[in-house]
Structure 1
Amino acid sequence: MSDTIFAKIINREIPADIVYEDERCLAFRDVNPQAPVHILVIPKAPIVKLSDAESNQQELLGYLLMTLKNIAAEQELEDYRVVINNGAGAGQSVFHLHLHLLAGRAFDWPPG
């Protein structure tokens, strides 16, 4: 996973429009946004996809969701969608766990 584009963003090997960072995670604007607001929240820990997360990472997973909630509040978003794709068949294209924060337009149901 150390060669993913997200690892390179964490390591500052490539630039990103970072909106939040702490010792555990990083959040930045998606370069190919699917909504007017499209922010990705990623752990700095090497988790490939949600199904690869270990039970000892449960607190980190909750932390990512709370961080996303706080970013949404800072962005003054009341209505937004959170998406986690798990595997290529579900649309995951970067194999580093990431949460999509999408807002600024109406979303249909079911998604996809």
Structure 2
Amino acid sequence: MDPYRIFADIVAGRAPASKVYEDDDVFAFMDIRPFTPGHLLVIPKIPARSLAELDPAIGGKLFAVGQRLAAALRDSEVGADGVNFFLADGVTAGQEVFHVHLHVIPRTPGDGFGLRGRPTSPRRADLDYLAGSIRGALERGSAS
């Protein structure tokens, strides 16, 4: 099975999945390599390899479904105390399957999962400079 098409195969019923939710646009299922018990993936039914290819309305729906699933994770046997959302866009960000997918990761005390980055403390001038660059990109339409 092609790892780059696995989610399309799941949506089409050609590959197995433990389905949790489905509607006309979105499909949610259990991750087969979970970080914590109850780890879910939410995908658009129409494949988009990256956020740039994802219809913004469907992107909003991914998060709306993720929000509902987060509440269900708290109320189910999973008994989550918290939930992390994670979406990797691009190889450098850790994307391995090139079909946009939102991880919904239930959290409980002592589960061992967490962010392992080191925050920096940039100067305000540097923050302002980058903010201006990003605003310029938005105005040019590169993030439309």
Task: State the TM bucket, normalised to the shorter chain.
Answer: 0.7 to 0.9
Higher relative contact order (CA 8 A, sep 6+): 1
1:33 matched residue in structure 2: 34
Counterpart among 48, 65, 68 of residue 67 in structure 1? 65
CA contact (8 A) 2:35 2:105 kept: yes
TM-score normalized by structure 2? 0.67
* Greater Rg by CA: 2
2:22 matched residue in structure 1: 21
Flag structure 1 segments of 5+ consecutive residues without an equivalent: none
2:105 matches 1:107: no
SS in 2 for 1:80: strand
Farther off after superposition, 30-39 or 14-23: 30-39
CA contact (8 A) 1:21 1:27 kept: yes
Which of the pair is proportionally richer in helix?
Answer: 2
Farther off after superposition, 34-43 or 6-15: 34-43
One-letter amino acid of the counterpart of residue 34, structure 2: P
TM-score normalized by structure 1? 0.85
Deviation digits for residues 68-92 of structure 1 (CA, Å, limit 9, x no counterpart):
0001112224511100101112111
2:124 matched residue in structure 1: none
Which of the pair is proportionally richer in strand?
Answer: 1
State the superposition RMSD in angstroms.
1.8
One-letter amino acid of the counterpart of residue 39, structure 2: H
Aligned residues: 106
